[in-house]
């Protein structure tokens, strides 16, 4: 029967761990160089919307149409898109869609934005970058509006 010391096993495991980490690093670099857009977090210089991200959020918030729902609700949408080397947006993807057509509505609003971003940079060169945008909306239900309209009608009838 063979006996292997724990330190030998640890050395072997670490050797394989380094190999796996190196392989993942190389495959990630190759994946990015193959034309796919890296995540914004991995870039030296991140893409920026003119006026900052808050201006972009204002644009999205003021242009998105909410669905007619009976009850008040908070909806969360997660969309991703590519910021191209020239600053235009493309390749829209709905990651989380609460339903009610909200995912498609978010993509519609993003596509309607014609303002160019300043692109992300890696190694001093503009690169495509994948940007993920969470959108949270408070949607007022029509049941509340109907109730308020009813109450207003009752008030007017009493006068």
pLDDT digits over 30-75, tens only?
Answer: 233 334 666 666 788 999 999 999 999 999 999 998 888 778 888 8
Nearest to 69 by CA among 138, 14, 136: 138
Q: How much is the pLDDT for 144?
A: 61
Do the domain assignments include residue 133?
Answer: yes
Exposure b/e, 80-110, CB count within 10 A at least 16 = b: bbbbbeebebeebeeeebbeeebbebbbebb
Do the domain assignments include residue 101?
Answer: yes
Query: Residue 90 pLDDT > 80, yes or no?
Result: yes
Structure tokens at 146: 């109907």
Do the domain assignments include residue 106?
Answer: yes
Q: Give the Å distances, CA to CA, from 48 to 43, 115, 120.
A: 12, 11, 8
Do the domain assignments include residue 96?
Answer: yes
For residues 141 and 85, which has the higher predicted lDDT (pLDDT)?
85
Host domain of residue 23: 1-34
Do 21 and 99 share a structural domain? no
User: What average pLDDT does the chain have?
Assistant: 76
Do 67 and 3 share a structural domain? no
Q: What is the percentage of the chain residues whose pLDDT exceeds 70?
A: 70
């Amino acid at each position: 029967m063979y006996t292997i010391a724990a330190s030998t096993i640890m050395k072997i495991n670490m050797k394989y761990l380094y190999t796996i980490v190196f392989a993942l690093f190389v495959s990630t670099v190759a994946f990015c160089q193959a034309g796919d857009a890296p995540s914004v977090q991995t870039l030296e210089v991140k893409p920026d919307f003119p006026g900052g991200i808050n201006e972009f959020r204002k644009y999205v918030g003021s242009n998105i149409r909410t669905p007619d729902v009976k009850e008040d609700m908070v909806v969360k949408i997660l969309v991703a898109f590519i910021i191209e080397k020239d600053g235009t947006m493309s390749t829209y993807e709905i990651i989380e869609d609460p339903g009610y057509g909200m995912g498609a509505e978010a993509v519609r609003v993003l596509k309607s934005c014609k303002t160019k971003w300043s692109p992300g940079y890696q190694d001093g060169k503009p690169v495509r970058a994948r940007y993920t945008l969470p959108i949270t909306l408070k949607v007022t239900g029509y049941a509340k509006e109907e109730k308020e309209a009813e109450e207003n009608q009752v008030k007017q009838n009493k006068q």
